[in-house]
Amino acid sequence: MRLTRKTYFVNPRLQLQLVLGANILALISVALISTLMFYTESKVHTYGAALNLAPNHPFLTFVAQQEAYFARMCLVIGVVQFVLFNATAIFLSHRIAGPLYRLERHLEDVASGNEPRDVKFRKGDLYQSLAEACNRLMARMRESLVKQ
């Protein structure tokens, strides 16, 4: 039986923290790229002034065109990073929060007096060893119930 996800944010606090962390990394990356661009631009203009180049000199015009191209590329890279980082964070949060939520529901079910049964995680979920340990505990509980 394959378990499918019905709710994408089963633990919103944990999952939103992961997404926020991904956004912070994307913003830091874009800020570093923008800082590098600004630094390079200021150096080129400083060298142009030191060489007494006219403001409409072909070299400075070429540099201005390259700066505009680089600025557009920074924007594209920033948007792509934002999408990729968020998609990765959401995907990983599903693989972390989903099994923990499933285990919590399972243990509450057993604690409320229902028969101890095995817990199943989806293929690819993290914490598979936790499910195996829980299943060993459930098997032991079933054995003790049979002995009574």
In SS3 terms, the chain reads as: CCCCCCCCCCCHHHHHHHHHHHHHHHHHHHHHHHHHHHHHHHHHHHHHHHCCCCCCCHHHHHHHHHHHHHHHHHHHHHHHHHHHHHHHHHHHHHHHHHHHHHHHHHHHHHHCCCCCCCCCCCCCCCCHHHHHHHHHHHHHHHHHHHHC
What average pLDDT does the segment 112-127 reach? 90
pLDDT, one tens digit per residue, over 19-66 is 899 889 888 988 888 888 888 878 877 887 888 888 788 888 888 888
pLDDT band at 3 (very low <50, low <70, confident <90, very high): low
Domain residue ranges in the chain: 12-147
Residue with tokens 């980082």: 85
What average pLDDT does the segment 6-22 reach? 83
User: How confident is the prediction for the chain on average, in pLDDT?
Assistant: 86
User: What's the chain's Rg over C-alpha atoms?
Assistant: 28
CA pair distance 17, 142, nearest whole angstrom: 38
- Percent of the chain clearing pLDDT 90 (strictly above): 20
What pTM, to 2 d.p., does this model score? 0.67
Neighbour count for residue 55 (Cβ, 10 Å): 10
